[in-house]
Amino acid sequence: MVIKSIIDKLSLNWSKSAAGNMTNSKMVHKQKAKPKAPAIVAGGSISAGRDIIVGNQTIHHHATSAPKNDSQIARELINFLDNKRVLTDRFEWENPQDCIYSVSDIRSRLSEFLEKQPLGKILEADLKQMQEACKKFLTATQALETPRHHIYGSDMRQILDSFRHEFAVPAKNVVTRYRLSASNDFKKMLLGGHN
């Protein structure tokens, strides 16, 4: 009987010990399975060098491009605009249909910049003002019978001149605010020195 009680005590202790180890192992397992929160930065990008948990797999995430800041976006925009002849070429060199296509292209690109990611309020306002100048130009040219070869001395010249003046205000704000460089022709347009 003494042996039976010793065996019973040992069995009971063993059961408690085993149950305790199982509980501890479950806790350890739960702690190991607890996912690290991936670092999310503004604009929804995941920061470089962090682990991402997908289901029950851990994936090491390498560097991704961070959201661009306003100065980077402004630089891209001005580089794009600097190459648009509709903003800088002499009036007598302009082909009306080419001007319409170019302004339409500028307007589309401005929409991309506005939709791509959040912008600072000031830069966003400048881009929207440029977009509005494009819209006015395109609306005004729809009502015209545009000359086929050049715009010198036509209503189209007045519309283009108005567009350039209106567009120059927010473009100059962007160049000045972000201290960007531009071609001499583009700078002339910003200063109102149209031909």
Does one domain contain both 93 and 138? yes
Beta bridge partners, 46, equal 40
Structure tokens at 192: 């109102």
Does one domain contain both 123 and 181? yes
Does one domain contain both 39 and 124? no
Residues 56 and 111 sit within 8 Å (Cβ to Cβ): no
Does one domain contain both 132 and 184? yes
Kindly tell me if the per-residue pLDDT of 1 is higher than 50.
Answer: yes
Q: Could you tell me the residue range of the domain that residue 28 belongs to?
A: 1-33
d(CA 23, CA 19): 6
Say how many domains are in the chain. 3
Residues 130 and 106 sit within 8 Å (Cβ to Cβ): yes
Per mean pLDDT, which range of 77-86, 109-118, 136-145, 172-181 is the poorest?
Answer: 136-145
Measured between alpha carbons, how far is residue 124 from residues 15, 45, 162 in Å? Answer: 69, 21, 22
Does one domain contain both 58 and 105? no
pLDDT digits (tens, 9 = 90+) for 28-85: 444 444 444 444 333 343 334 454 444 555 544 444 444 579 999 999 999 999 999 8
Question: Considering the domain boundaries, does residue 195 fall inside one?
Answer: no
pLDDT digits (tens, 9 = 90+) for 147-160: 554 555 567 888 88
pLDDT, averaged across the chain: 74
pLDDT of residue 25: 46
- pTM of the complete model beyond 0.75: no
pLDDT of residue 62: 45
Q: Is 185 helix (H, G, I), strand (E, B) or coil?
A: helix
